[in-house]
Structure 1
């Protein structure tokens, strides 16, 4: 039995949960889309829908571009006149979460953004989808063993993996399994997200519970085709599952018949078969200052506390004088503008 619940205020969309189970959720995890035009204002106003005044301009870029307009993890690169690179929009995973904040305010969806990109001649050179599996339909180390035993049927010729072990007791420290080549236009990555986050944040594994992450990394034609399919279906999870199903299947070995006749494993059927009763989930990210705040906390806060304590004992006010007399850089001024602005002020 499934129940439909009201999403949290920070979320957009419907979360479908099975009793005693967490849902499988899908999200846009990374994108790069280019435009032949050199009109930055056109792309900012009609595709990205962000006010230039709230973006920081850098006289540098990547991938051969000469400059960048950026709002934290959302970046718009531009090239010099005559350069056929034109303009490139890039969003990392965190950038995608932040962009969802603006989509939510405008009462739009990723599918509207994709359509805006296509309408303006956008070509997706990189597009990543990710799925979080809190139910954990399978264990990633078990998939690795299936691959080693020849019980994986795939369009990919090669698979790779990495992992870690605790030296003290030999327990698993997290396994990552790759399908395909990083140079190919389609590449799959399955890993244990709970282990990754526990190590990254230095917290006990138990705080995260069961948590797998499945990532689909698509390039060029594959990326473009996926985006056009999403515009038609408006179903992120279904398209992600269809892509996985197209490239990969796990089976149970049976010496009595040929490998082509091996039956699909029950766990894989359950994973693929649940698509119809699971839905799209997006979690917008409202914090545009995570990097700077974390840097201040980790690098400066202890020193600031030391000076503050000295001021208290000595009766001085060195710390307050430092703050009052400090001059913000143009980057910090721009960040302050965004911090004090409403989301609605930044969109167009």
Structure 2
């Protein structure tokens, strides 16, 4: 039932929506944009909505974001507004990313370029990339997994620019059933934050599904997005180089007294090679170019 509806240009804004989230993995989508957040400074929400999403039906609801009163949403795309300083906050979570990719002729390159061109079409002071997440999925055991990270950590085989690590296992007390297995590297307040977890366990599905999320903010997010726009064929290599630069898993077989001189573990070298072979899934016209961990 629609309890309120507004019209902003070609965008219908109403107050109800039904959302269905599918948990099953698409094994062809191995390199994904999984979260995007952008703040628009001194901008009107109607202008931002009409420019970025001219054909979407968006709902008027109470905002769940701190500092904002209201949100326009279809349950997948969120435009928060009603702050004291005329800021509009765009938040696209995982299901929103998959929704955008399902639109006809949509690609991330065209959408992100549209963001960069926004001041040519609407009145705005500037915009900032608040967060940009890249997800790397693999569907075999011989990959970067929480268990491998734990073993490397306990054996002193990790070198990293990150200063902290958090190892989290979640289970149900009554049944002793494991519900989650995650590793966090770095601080959430830093410009780059790494999460490695068992996606199959989290999603409660059978089989192997492990995910590495590289969560970027501010200037780090901006650099990755510029690479995607200017050199899309090099994007997966850029992501792999970024990961390799931040964290290294060393070999126990050829261990040196100074751990930083030890070569990479064979499995980690294979994982980085696998990552470099992938293509970003960008939309309905995109394809994945190659490589799995069994090659």
TM-score between both structures, scaled by the size of structure 2: 0.74
- Give me the CA root mean square deviation: 2.8
Q: 1:58 aligns with which of 56, 61, 64?
A: 61
Q: How far off is 1:279 after superposition?
A: 2.4
Partner SS, residue 130 of structure 2? strand
- Residue 231 of structure 1 is matched in structure 2 by 229
Deviations 1:189-212 (A, max 9, x none): 1011111112xxxxxx5xx31110
Q: Determine if contact 1:174/1:192 at 8 Å carries over to the other structure.
A: yes
Task: Figure out how many residues of one structure are paired with residues of the other and give that number.
Answer: 249
Secondary structure (helix, strand or coil) at the match of 1:215 reads strand
- Does the aligned pair in 1 maintain the 2:132–2:216 contact within 8 Å? yes
1:40 is matched with 45
1:76 corresponds, among 79, 98, 111, to 79
Q: How does 1:291-306 map to 2 (within 5 A)?
A: none
**Structure 2 CA distance for aligned equivalents of residues 169 and 44 of structure 1:** 47
How far apart are 1:126 and its partner, in Å?
Answer: 1.1
The whole-number CA distance in structure 2 between the counterparts of 1:269 and 1:197 is 28
| Cα separation, partners in 2 of 1:45 and 1:129, compared to 1, 3 Å | same
SS of the equivalent of 1:122 reads strand
Report the 3-state secondary structure (helix = DSSP H, G, I; strand = E; otherwise coil) of the residue aligned with 1:214: strand
**Cα distance change of structure 1 residues 77 and 159 upon mapping to structure 2, 3 Å threshold:** same
Q: Give the equivalent residue in structure 2 for 1:7.
A: none
User: Structure 2 unaligned runs (5+)?
Assistant: 1-25, 119-125, 285-295
Q: What CA distance in whole angstroms lies between the structure 2 residues aligned with 1:60 and 1:173?
A: 29
Segments of 5+ residues of structure 1 without an aligned counterpart are 1-14, 16-21, 199-204, 285-348
Contact persistence 1:23–1:135 (CA under 8 A): no
Separation of aligned partners in 2, 1:36 and 1:264: 44
Equivalent residues of 2:81, 2:89 under 8 A apart: yes
The CA distance in 1 between the partners of 2:132 and 2:157, in whole Å, is: 29
Identify the structure with the greater strand proportion. Answer: 2
Q: Per chain length, whose mean CA-contact separation is higher, i.e. which structure has more relative contact order (CA < 8 Å, sep 6+)?
A: 1
Deviation of 1:171 after TM superposition, in Å, equals 9.0
CA distance in 1 between counterparts of 2:48 and 2:174 reads: 54
By how many angstroms is 1:40 displaced?
2.5
Instruction: Find the counterpart in structure 2 of residue 12 from structure 1.
Output: none
Distance (whole Å) between structure 2 residues aligned to residue 109 and residue 220 of structure 1: 22
When you count helix as a share of all residues, which structure comes out higher?
1
With normalisation by structure 1, the TM-score equals 0.64
> In structure 1, what is the Cα distance between the partners aligned to 2:132 and 2:59?
24
- The verdict on how the C-alpha distance between 1:169 and 1:59 changes in structure 2, with shifts beyond 3 A counting, is closer
Instruction: Tell me the distance in 2 between the aligned counterparts of 1:174 and 1:114.
Output: 33
- 1:209 pairs, out of 202, 207, 229, with 207
Residue equivalent to 2:194: 188
CA distance in 1, matches of 2:141, 2:283: 20
